[in-house]
Homo-oligomer: A and B are copies of this chain.
Amino acid sequence: MKKIINLSVLILGVAFVSGQTKEDSIQFNRISTEILNNGKGYNELKELTKNIGNRLSGSQAYEESVKWAAQKLKDAGADKVWLQEVMIPVWERGKESLHIKTSNGSWKSLKMLSLGNSEGTGGKDVSGEIIMVKSLEEYDRLPAEKVKNKIVFFNYPFNQGHVQTFIAYREAGAYRRTAASLTAKKGGKFAVIRSLSSAFDDVPHTGNMRYDDNVSKVPAVTIGNTSADELEALLKNQKVTAKLNSNCGMRGEKLSHSVIGEITGKKDQNVIVVGGHLDSWDVGEGAHDDGAGIVQSIEVLRTFKKLGIQNNHTIRAVCFANEENGTKGGKQYGKTAKDHNEKHLFAIESDAGGYAPRGISLEMDNTKRDQIKSWVNLFLPYGVYNFEGKYSGSDIAPLHEMGVPSAELVPDPQRYFDIHHTSEDTFEKVNRRELLLGSSVMTQLIYMIDKNW
């Protein structure tokens, strides 16, 4: 396309702006112009993903990312940077393989990942016949004797029909979380789930699972959509045997750290938090999940400093430890805030991918919510229109439980579950402008809250 378009019509006009709103509108523009032109988040994300890579809690890479984040917060001009101690669970994957044998008698390897926090087979082959269910309801109806000593294939597909992919993720998430214990309760040997994936490929998506108390901890593994389709087709007309060999499991706890940097409030030291999580799953590079949120949060501090915006309150960027398999960083942060009697005014997290922002989800009382929604005309030129969500991030949930008004950046959700928790969540999947716009919107929101609260 090559048409020439009228400049003015593309900028959604703010029709009747008061002097105050005009000042804010100018500040919004300064912020976005600075970040789109000079933002460092994209290059920082490249460092984090390419020099350090994935960084599961407990790994050496995570410890490297702690040092890296502290340095980046200093570079951004934070007045104070520190590490917050937190005990984190250690889960290790180790070597793993899944094979299937069909009626022709030959074994075939499937691409697979053990789910996070799952126990393995202890390096031994565990095999059995596969039975398939398409839903939890179908599984509930199966008598235990049909499951005993079998491998259960939970073949629930990600529902592409939802416009909001997080709804499809939530629906399919029930399988990831519960498959192992459901299998154990009926005497099955291990569980295989179809990945929580919107992609049409064979990439397995890992993610957190949990064991019910007093139930045998059988392994849970996941396979990509293509393998799941093939397995489903095979099971229509023959018996299929699966053989799992894996070494994953929990390895106790370890002392580690969240990383915090702040610029001190000029009026008081009440705290505004912006954050993401520094850890990632142990595949890919943790680029969208959640390297994006980390570099966006650091960019907020840098931009306040660079533009010389005088912040009334303390603005703190928090790089939380261990979101993926324990949320211990968020819990510790909340506990410390309480212990130290710190007053938190507001917290926002970016943990839904580094895509072009569309909204801000608000978990707070209606008065504050309505106030933020009244700023919509300031945000519209930046593509931010949706303030209807009522959730915030998992790392800041402990703050919210203490009464802190909380929020989450809402980026476009269409591409996230193609690559979420996979080897494909790499730097190359992140677009510079989309990532930087997310930083810009969080900076703009914090500017407004700092000024008005």
Q: Is the CB of A207 within 8 A of B2?
A: yes
Q: Is the CB of B1 within 8 A of A352?
A: yes
Q: A215 an interface residue at 8 Å Cβ cutoff?
A: no
A5: nearest chain-B partner, CB-CB: B391
Q: Which of A90-115 contact B (CB under 8 A)?
A: none
Q: Is the CB of A160 within 8 A of B4?
A: no
Among A122-130, A140-148, A161-169, A249-257, which stretch is in contact with chain B? A161-169
Q: Is the CB of B4 within 8 A of A37?
A: no
Q: Is the CB of B391 within 8 A of A36?
A: no
Q: A44 an interface residue at 8 Å Cβ cutoff?
A: no
A412: nearest chain-B partner, CB-CB: B356
- Minimum CB–CB distance from A445 to chain B (whole Å) comes to 15
Residues of B within 8 A of A287 (CB): none
- Minimum CB–CB distance from A401 to chain B (whole Å) comes to 14
Q: Which of A335-393 contact B (CB under 8 A)?
A: 351-352, 356, 358, 361, 380-383, 385-386, 388-391, 393
Q: Is the CB of A1 within 8 A of B414?
A: no
Q: Decide yes or no: A5 and B163 within 8 Å by CB, A358-B383, A414-B437, A434-B414 being known contacts.
A: no
Q: A432 an interface residue at 8 Å Cβ cutoff?
A: yes
Q: Is the CB of B164 within 8 A of A3?
A: no
Q: Which of A6-49 contact B (CB under 8 A)?
A: 6-7, 9-13, 32-33, 36-37
| Complex: A412 Cα to B382 Cα, angstroms | 11
Question: When the two chains form the complex, which single residue of B3, B36, B162 contacts A393, counting CB atoms closer than 8 Å?
Answer: B3
Q: Is the CB of B5 within 8 A of A170?
A: yes
A176: nearest chain-B partner, CB-CB: B2
- Minimum CB–CB distance from A169 to chain B (whole Å) comes to 9
In the complex, the count of this chain's copies comes to 2
Q: A84 an interface residue at 8 Å Cβ cutoff?
A: no
A358: nearest chain-B partner, CB-CB: B383
Q: Decide yes or no: A10 and B389 within 8 Å by CB, A1-B290, A1-B351, A2-B207 being known contacts.
A: yes
Q: A299 an interface residue at 8 Å Cβ cutoff?
A: no
Q: Is the CB of B13 within 8 A of A394?
A: no
Q: Is the CB of A323 within 8 A of B2?
A: yes
A interface, over-half SS: loop
Q: A433 an interface residue at 8 Å Cβ cutoff?
A: yes
Residues of B within 8 A of A356 (CB): 356, 412, 414
| Complex: A306 Cα to B163 Cα, angstroms | 20
| Complex: A163 Cα to B382 Cα, angstroms | 6
| Complex: A112 Cα to B167 Cα, angstroms | 46
| Complex: A10 Cα to B37 Cα, angstroms | 32
Residues of B within 8 A of A352 (CB): 1
Q: A431 an interface residue at 8 Å Cβ cutoff?
A: yes
| Complex: A167 Cα to B9 Cα, angstroms | 10
Q: Decide yes or no: A386 and B12 within 8 Å by CB, A2-B323, A2-B394, A393-B3 being known contacts.
A: yes
| Complex: A170 Cα to B9 Cα, angstroms | 13
Q: Which of A401-427 contact B (CB under 8 A)?
A: 412, 414-415, 418
Residues of B within 8 A of A382 (CB): 163
| Complex: A397 Cα to B3 Cα, angstroms | 10
Question: When the two chains form the complex, which single residue of B36, B163, B173, B207 contacts A36, counting CB atoms closer than 8 Å?
Answer: B163
Please provide the 9 A-B residue pairs with the shortest distance between their CB atoms, ordered closest to farther: A1-B351, A3-B394, A33-B161, A414-B433, A9-B390, A385-B385, A10-B164, A5-B391, A12-B388
- Residues of A participating in the B interface, judged by any CB pair closer than 8 Å: 1-7, 9-13, 32-33, 36-37, 160-167, 170, 173, 198, 200, 207-208, 277, 289-290, 323-324, 351-352, 356, 358, 361, 380-383, 385-386, 388-391, 393-394, 397, 412, 414-415, 418, 431-434, 437
17 contacts between A and B (CB under 8 A): A1-B277, A1-B290, A1-B351, A3-B391, A9-B391, A12-B386, A13-B388, A33-B161, A36-B160, A36-B162, A36-B163, A37-B161, A356-B414, A385-B386, A412-B412, A414-B434, A415-B434
Q: A9-B389, A356-B356 are in contact. List 20 more A-B contacts (CB 8 A).
A: A1-B290, A1-B323, A1-B393, A1-B394, A2-B394, A5-B170, A9-B361, A10-B164, A10-B167, A11-B164, A11-B167, A12-B386, A12-B388, A36-B162, A37-B161, A198-B433, A358-B358, A385-B386, A414-B433, A415-B434
